[in-house]
Structure 1
C-alpha cells in the first residue's frame, strides 16, 4: 500500500492555479448525458470555491478530459494529469473506466476522488490514494434486491451483456436473493433478440426482468418488446444501474419508459445547501439535475477541503481522506474503510429506488429507501 506524502499541485507557493484533472464521458460510446451532468456539478462547485477565495487565495482550475467510456483513454489522461502537475483527479461515471483510472492514479501516487462509479473492486489492493463518493455496487444493489423482495418478486430474470460491471451485479443479486428464496436466471442479449427475451421470460415464469445492458441499445428495444407482449402484462421491468434517470430515456420510450425502478443516490428531502445547488444546477443544465450532478458538486467540495487542509498542515497530507468532514449536498461526507473495498469510501450516500410516474413521466416516485 502506498501512502501519499502530499497532493502534487498543492505544493506550489506561487500565485498559479490549483489544478484538478476531471475524467468525464462526453462522447459515445460513453453515457454522454451522465457526463454532462457530472461536469455541470464539477464546474458549478469550482466556480463557487473560487468565488469564496479559492485554495489559500489561489484559483481552482478544472482540466477536463473526455474518457468516452474507454479505460485506456482514461489511464492515458491520468498520465497527462501527472505531467500537468494536477493536485488531484476527480470524476468518472463508468465503473470499468474508473477502475483503470484508479489503478493508474495509485501507481503514480496521484490522489483520485471517484465521483460516480460503483464497482466494489475499484482497485486491486488497498490504497490511500483513492477515495469514492458513490455507494459500492454491493450496497446499492442489495438495497434494490430488498425492494424486489418487498414487492413480491422472487423469480428474477436479468438481461445481460459481457462486462465486469454487469457480471458483478448478477453475482451480488444471486448471492443476496438465494438465501431469501429468490432465483436469478441470466438471459444473454448477444444470443437473444428482444422477441426471444420475451419467450424466455414466459418460459421461466419470471415476475421481474432487470436490464443489465447498455443504453439506448439494447435496453430500449427490449423494453418496447416486453411492453408490447401481452403474455408479460404483469411483469416488472427494472434497471438498477439507472438508465431511466436521464431525459433521453423518456424521450425515446415515452410512457413505455415509466414504472421502471432504478437506483439513485439522493436524500428524500434536501437541506438548504442541496436545495440551493439543485436550483443552480437546473439553471445550468436546462433540466432537472440527476444524482450524478450532485456527485460532481460534492466531489469538488471534498477536494477543496482536502487541499485547504494540506495548505494549512502538510503533515496531515499523509492520509488526506481520513480527515475529511464536509457537509455536502446530500449529507455529511466522511470516509472510512468498508469491508472488502480497497479505497476510502463514503459509507453511504443516501440510496433510493425510484421510477418515473406513469401518469406524469417527468416526475419521479420514491418506492424504497435504504
Structure 2
C-alpha cells in the first residue's frame, strides 16, 4: 500500500522510506551500482538493528537508473509519490544531475553519494548535498600528478558525454597552464587498433581513458599494451575504472600501473575498518570506495533525521549543521564559491594504481 505524505513532506507510514538510486543494469556501470547499494543497505540494516530513527525502521525503496537520466527523473517522480523523506545514491554524474534537478523541483532532499560533475543543478538549491568531491578538484589534482611525473604530451581517448567533455576541459585547461598539450581523440568512429595509430602520430607519453567500462576501456588497454610501438606510453584512468575487481579479472597483469582517482583516505578510521570488513563479507570481494560512499550516505541522512526531524524540509535545512563521523572522516557540508549544492569539502582523494606483479593489491602514488 503506498504511503501517504503530509503537507510537510513527512511519511505517515510505520517505516521511514528513503529512495535509493543506483545503476543496476547495463548500460549502467553495474559493479559500481552493486557496491553503492551494498553500502546503502548495510548502513540501513545496522541503524534498524539499533532501533531505527525516532523508533521507526528505515526502508530503502530501490530504483535502477541504468545510467539513463530519463529513468532517473521518472524514478524521482515515483519515489516522491511513494512518500520517501529523502533520496540517496547514484553513481553516474549525468544521471545524478537529472535526479538532482528533479528533486529540487519537487522539494525532496537528495544526498548524492558518488557523482562528481561540478554543477549537479543549474540553480542554487537547498535540497541537494553531495559526498563525492567535485570533478574539477579531483581532476586538477590528477593533472598536477601527470605534470610532476614529466608528462607534457597527453592524449585523451573519449566518448560523447557531458561528463567526459567536462573532464577533458578540466584536464586541458590545467595541462595548458603548465605548458603541456592535450590531444582529444574521439572514439565514436575509431576501433582500438586505429587509436594506436593515432597515438603514435601524436607522440603522446600518456593516454587517458575517458571512456566507458568495461567497453571500450578493456579493449583499448589490451590494444595499447600489445602494440610494441607504444611500449613506453603510460595509461591513466582518472574516472576510476580500475577500482573494481572486474578490471583485474578481465585484464590480468595488464590491469596494473594505470593510475586513477580514488576517494578514500590512506588509513580508515575505526568505523571505516569495521564497515570495510562487513562489506567484504556482504559483497564477497574487497569493497570499493563507492561502497563506503553508500554507507556514509545513509549514516548522514539518519543523523539529519535524528537531530532535525524526518520532514523533508527539516532534512534539507540540516545540511550545514551536520557533523557526522563517516567511514572516511568527519563529514560536514559547506556552500563553496560557485557551487549550487551543499558539498563535503574534505572528501579524501588519492591517486592509486594496481600493483605490477600483484594486481589484486593497490599502491598509493599521491595523497594530497
Pairwise CA RMSD? 1.7
TM-score (norm 1): 0.95
Q: Which secondary structure does the structure 1 equivalent of 2:10 belong to?
A: helix
Does the CA contact (< 8 Å) of 1:352 and 1:368 recur in 2?
Answer: yes
Q: What corresponds to 1:169 in structure 2? A: 167
Does the CA contact (< 8 Å) of 1:160 and 1:212 recur in 2?
Answer: yes
Output the CA distance in 2 between the equivalents of 1:201 and 1:231. Answer: 9
Q: Which secondary structure does the structure 2 equivalent of 1:320 belong to?
A: helix
Does the CA contact (< 8 Å) of 2:309 and 2:315 recur in 1?
Answer: no
Q: What corresponds to 1:187 in structure 2? A: 185
Output the CA distance in 1 between the equivalents of 2:287 and 2:148. Answer: 29
TM-score (norm 2): 0.96
Structure 1 residues 142-151 or 27-36, which shifts more? 142-151
Q: What corresponds to 1:259 in structure 2? A: 257
Q: 1:315 to 1:93 in 2, by over 3 A?
A: closer
Q: What corresponds to 1:303 in structure 2? A: 301
Alignment of 1:120-159 (within 5 A): 120-159=118-157
Give how far 1:64 is off.
0.3
Q: 1:272 to 1:369 in 2, by over 3 A?
A: same
Does the CA contact (< 8 Å) of 1:260 and 1:355 recur in 2?
Answer: yes
**Where do 5+ consecutive residues of structure 2 fail to align?**
1-5
Give the alignment partner of residue 283 of structure 1, picking from 277, 281, 284.
Answer: 281
Output the CA distance in 2 between the equivalents of 1:260 and 1:8. Answer: 46
Output the CA distance in 2 between the equivalents of 1:322 and 1:76. Answer: 29
Give the alignment partner of residue 52 of structure 1, picking from 29, 50, 65.
Answer: 50
Q: What corresponds to 1:41 in structure 2? A: 39
Does the CA contact (< 8 Å) of 1:143 and 1:369 recur in 2?
Answer: no
Output the CA distance in 2 between the equivalents of 1:35 and 1:257. Answer: 21
Output the CA distance in 1 between the equivalents of 2:209 and 2:236. Answer: 6
Output the CA distance in 2 between the equivalents of 1:248 and 1:315. Answer: 40
- State the Cα deviation string for residues 318-364 of structure 1 (Å, max 9, x = none): 62211111000000000001222210000031100111111101000
Output the CA distance in 1 between the equivalents of 2:82 and 2:300. Answer: 21
Output the CA distance in 2 between the equivalents of 1:237 and 1:203. Answer: 16
Structure 1 residues 190-199 or 125-134, which shifts more? 190-199
Give how far 1:194 is off.
1.1
Output the CA distance in 2 between the equivalents of 1:138 and 1:229. Answer: 32
Q: What corresponds to 1:220 in structure 2? A: 218
Q: 1:74 to 1:196 in 2, by over 3 A?
A: same
Report the number of matched residues. 363
Q: What corresponds to 2:346 in structure 1? A: 348
Give the alignment partner of residue 96 of structure 1, picking from 89, 94, 97.
Answer: 94
Output the CA distance in 1 between the equivalents of 2:363 and 2:92. Answer: 25
Does the CA contact (< 8 Å) of 1:102 and 1:130 recur in 2?
Answer: yes
Alignment of 1:22-37 (within 5 A): 22-37=20-35
**4+ residue runs over 4 A deviation:** 312-318
Does the CA contact (< 8 Å) of 1:29 and 1:68 recur in 2?
Answer: yes
Give how far 1:93 is off.
0.3
- State the Cα deviation string for residues 218-250 of structure 1 (Å, max 9, x = none): 111111111011111111100110111111111
Q: Which secondary structure does the structure 1 equivalent of 2:308 belong to?
A: helix
